[in-house]
Structure 1
Amino acid sequence: MNGFLVHLMRHGIPARPGRLLGQLDEAPLPIGVTRCVAAADRLDFNHVISSDLARALVPARRIASARGASDTVDARWRELDFGAWTGLDPAEVEPGAYGRFWDDPDACAPPEGERWSHLCARVGEAVLHLHQPSLVVTHGGAMRAALAALFHMEHRQVWAFDLPYSCVLSLRLWPDDGMPAAQIVALSA
């Protein structure tokens, strides 16, 4: 069996890039949508899936419409919930707390926010429902969580991946009884 390709695309540039937007629902800039559509032109897929947050949903719907592809909204592909830090510039977060979060995002989740393991579990569940060549328009944290779930990588390993806005991470998946076997095919900005 040859498996099938799944492309994970980070959403377009938001109105306030660099902030801890998390699950804040902000629309992408028009240039961000345009870049996502352009990046999708070179990809092979039958179906578009997106987070329900506008910065992913808007380009996903535009891509699906342009391609004549079916589309689905799946909230499991949302970004990590940054809780009390939502919307803040990282410089506005108490440095010790922010450093502890990056060192151990499970034990030191943002106040009222989500643990890394929870993000990995919900994205891992979404990965289990991928059964055809697809484009998933999502968020940087969710893309890293997919890598963690598929390849059993630690948070420090997946956070080493540079995932700029509108980048595409292409994976080949082979269905299995549990988590599919996977191979990284390409990462393009």
Structure 2
Amino acid sequence: MSDFLLHLLRHGEPEGAGRLNGRTDASPTAAGIAACAVRARDLGLETLLASDLSRARLAGEAIGRAVDLPLTLDPRWRELDFGAWDGLLAEEVDGLALSRFRDDPDRHPPPGGERWSALTGRISAAIDTLSARPTLIVTHGGAMRAAVAILCGLDARQVWAIDLPYASLLSLRVWRMPDAPTTGQIVGLRA
């Protein structure tokens, strides 16, 4: 059995914060990038990855320079695609539709958007390719929740209840055993 620390860092505050930015490539603020760099100090990293969207990528580049690690971009760590809601404020979305989505994001995905099961499928595939080394992934709130669901056996409603503000750091101990699913345990959350 091998285990390693997996740190998931939500990107810092983007321009136009508070929107349902899935595939929308919102630029990060300078303060958002700086907040991520502070969170990533002293983690003892050996591997650094980020979503390819600029709000995560630019923070990952800053962290890579600070800790002297190359950054690998992986689009599987992108946010959930909010389809027709992408880029909108929650108040601009039909309240009933948004409530149904929050209650069951797989049965009631955003119009033209991604189902929860598709997000967890791509995050699961991304987790399976990780080396068993201390790793930081700069990503998005939905991707972080999907990783927790996969590794800790929580359902969508449970993980959507976890508050993950911009630049929050979630640390998990991940175990791999032959012929068993990869599992994990939350060991820290810094919001």
TM-score band by shorter chain is: over 0.9
Q: Secondary structure at the match of 1:125?
A: helix
Structure 1 equivalent of residue 190 of structure 2: 188
Question: Could you report, residue by residue, the CA deviation over 1:161-188 in whole angstroms, capped at 9, with x for unpaired residues?
Answer: 1111111000111223453221211001
Q: Distance in 2 between matches of 1:89 and 1:140?
A: 16
Question: Could you report, residue by residue, the CA deviation over 1:73-124 in whole angstroms, capped at 9, with x for unpaired residues?
Answer: 0000000000000000000001111111111111111010000111011011
Gaps of 5+ in 1: none
Structure 2 equivalent of residue 129 of structure 1: 129
Q: Secondary structure at the match of 2:138?
A: strand
Q: Distance in 2 between matches of 1:50 and 1:129?
A: 14
Question: Could you report, residue by residue, the CA deviation over 1:27-62 in whole angstroms, capped at 9, with x for unpaired residues?
Answer: 100000000001111312111100010000000011
Q: Secondary structure at the match of 1:165?
A: coil
Pairs within 5 Å for 1:38-187: 38-131=38-131, 132-177=133-178, 178-187=180-189
Taking only aligned residues, the RMSD between alpha carbons, in angstroms, comes to: 1.2
| Aligned-partner residue type, residue 50 of structure 1 | A
Large movers: runs of 4+ above 6 Å: none
Residues 47 and 64 in structure 1, CA contact (< 8 A), matched pair in contact too = no
Residues 32 and 165 in structure 1, CA contact (< 8 A), matched pair in contact too = yes
TM-score, normalised to structure 1, is 0.96
Q: Distance in 1 between matches of 2:59 and 2:125?
A: 23
| Aligned-partner residue type, residue 71 of structure 2 | D
| Aligned-partner residue type, residue 184 of structure 1 | I
Q: Distance in 2 between matches of 1:106 and 1:123?
A: 15
Q: Distance in 1 between matches of 2:108 and 2:157?
A: 14
Residues 150 and 183 in structure 2, CA contact (< 8 A), matched pair in contact too = no
Number of aligned residues: 189
Q: Distance in 1 between matches of 2:42 and 2:91?
A: 37
Identical counterparts, % of pairs = 49
Gaps of 5+ in 2: none
Structure 1 equivalent of residue 15 of structure 2: 15
Residues 48 and 135 in structure 2, CA contact (< 8 A), matched pair in contact too = yes
Q: Secondary structure at the match of 2:7?
A: strand
